Amino acid sequence: MQIYIDGQWLDRKDAKVSVFDHGLLYGDGVFEGIRVYSRRIFRLGEHLERLYRSARAIALEMPISQQEMAVIVADAVARNRCEDGYIRLVVTRGEGALGIDPSSCPRPSIIVIVDQVAVYPRELYEGGVNVVTSPTRQVSHEAVDPRIKSLNYLKNILAKIDARIANAHEAVLLNNEGFIAECTADNLFVVRNGVISTPSPQDGALEGITRGVILQLAADAKIPAREARLTRYDLHTADEAFLTGTGAELMPIARFDARAIGNGKVGPITARLRDDFQRLVRVEGEPIWEPDGSTQKSKIKYRPSAVGT
Cβ–Cβ contacts within 10 Å for residue 12, how many?
10
Q: Specify the pLDDT at position 309.
A: 31
**Rounded Cα gap, residues 221 and 291, in angstroms:** 34
| Nearest of 23, 253, 274 to residue 130 by alpha carbon | 253
Q: Specify the pLDDT at position 305.
A: 47
Residues known to be catalytic: 149
Q: Where are the beta strands (DSSP E) in the chain?
A: 2-5, 8-11, 29-37, 40-41, 85-92, 109-115, 129-137, 170-174, 180-183, 187-192, 195-198, 225-227, 240-245, 249-256, 259-260
| Nearest of 136, 135, 128, 131 to residue 167 by alpha carbon | 131
Mean pLDDT of 1-20: 97
**Rounded Cα gap, residues 204 and 207, in angstroms:** 9
What is the per-residue pLDDT across 106-143, written as a single tens digit (0 to 9) for each? 999 999 999 998 888 899 999 999 999 999 999 988 89
| Nearest of 153, 148, 61 to residue 109 by alpha carbon | 61
What is the per-residue pLDDT across 57-97, written as a single tens digit (0 to 9) for each? 999 999 999 999 999 999 999 999 999 999 999 999 999 99
Mean pLDDT of 164-183: 97
**Rounded Cα gap, residues 288 and 213, in angstroms:** 21
What pTM was estimated for this model as a whole? 0.93
Ordered by where they begin, the domains of the chain are 2-117 (3.30.470.10), 124-281 (3.20.10.10)
What is the per-residue pLDDT across 193-207, written as a single tens digit (0 to 9) for each? 999 999 999 999 999
Mean pLDDT of the chain: 94
Q: Specify the pLDDT at position 307.
A: 34
Least confident of 33-42, 247-256, 284-293: 284-293
Mean pLDDT of 211-215: 98
